[in-house]
């Protein structure tokens, strides 16, 4: 059985093919990694850094108010979820007239985030619904506004089954 000799041309073509496959796989993986970037916390870390002092001031103002805000989120059997927020001031009186909003954020994928619009159903009691909430870990973000200014913000990890 006669074998063909290994020539310089064959070796060159094998090297080109090998490195072509390696470079092709690297380019594909790089494009996929860039396209699936939503795992980052901030779209612009520079802009987030500029607002850092305002966030600290807002957190100190919120702590000084000593509000007690309780949230309960429950996943329904149809796949939706109900979010209920109860807000009370430092003396335990219900807080009316705020505009609360909620978000269910996936810790690993911003594209799966769901906004929950809350409406006041009683004095100091706010409720909203979210459709098609997948089971698993979520970050529940609640923000309260009064006269266009954010006066309350909380972020808590919840597990919905």
Cα 123 from chain centroid (whole Å): 29
- H or E segment at 61? helix 52-65
Q: Between the CA of residue 52 and those of 55, 77, 145, what are the distances in Å?
A: 5, 40, 19
Confidence (pLDDT) at 91:
94
Confidence (pLDDT) at 40:
64
1 confidence band (pLDDT: 50, 70, 90): low
Q: Look at 10-24, 28-42, 83-97, 106-120 and tell me which has the smallest mean pLDDT.
A: 28-42
Closest CA to 75 of 118, 125, 136: 136
Residue 43, pLDDT > 90, answer no
Residue 128, pLDDT > 80, answer yes
The Cβ of residue 6 has, within 10 Å, a number of other Cβ atoms equal to 9
CA distance 65 to 153: 12
Residue 29, pLDDT > 80, answer yes
Confidence (pLDDT) at 132:
87
pLDDT in tens, 79-125: 899 999 999 999 999 999 899 999 999 988 888 899 999 999 999 99
Closest CA to 106 of 141, 74, 138: 138
CA distance 85 to 73: 9
Percent of the chain with pLDDT over 70: 96
Q: What is the pTM of this model?
A: 0.69
Mean pLDDT estimate for the chain: 91
Confidence (pLDDT) at 88:
94
pLDDT in tens, 145-157: 999 999 999 999 9
Residue 8, pLDDT > 70, answer yes
**CB–CB of 144/157 below 8 Å?**
no
């Amino acid at each position: 059985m006669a074998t063909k000799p290994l020539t310089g041309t064959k070796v060159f073509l094998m090297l080109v093919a090998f490195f072509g496959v390696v470079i092709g796989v690297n380019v594909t993986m790089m494009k996929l990694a860039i396209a699936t970037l939503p795992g980052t916390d901030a779209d612009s870390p520079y802009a987030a850094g500029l607002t850092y002092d305002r966030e600290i001031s807002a957190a100190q103002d919120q702590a000084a108010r000593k509000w007690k805000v309780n949230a309960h989120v429950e996943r329904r059997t149809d796949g939706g979820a109900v979010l209920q927020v109860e807000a009370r001031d430092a003396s335990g009186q219900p807080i009316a007239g705020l505009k609360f909003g909620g978000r269910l954020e996936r810790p690993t994928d911003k594209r799966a985030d769901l906004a929950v619009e809350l409406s006041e159903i009683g004095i100091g009691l706010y409720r909203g619904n979210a459709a098609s909430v997948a089971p698993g870990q979520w970050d529940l973000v609640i923000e309260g506004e009064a006269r266009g200014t954010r006066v309350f913000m909380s972020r808590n990890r919840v597990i919905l089954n």
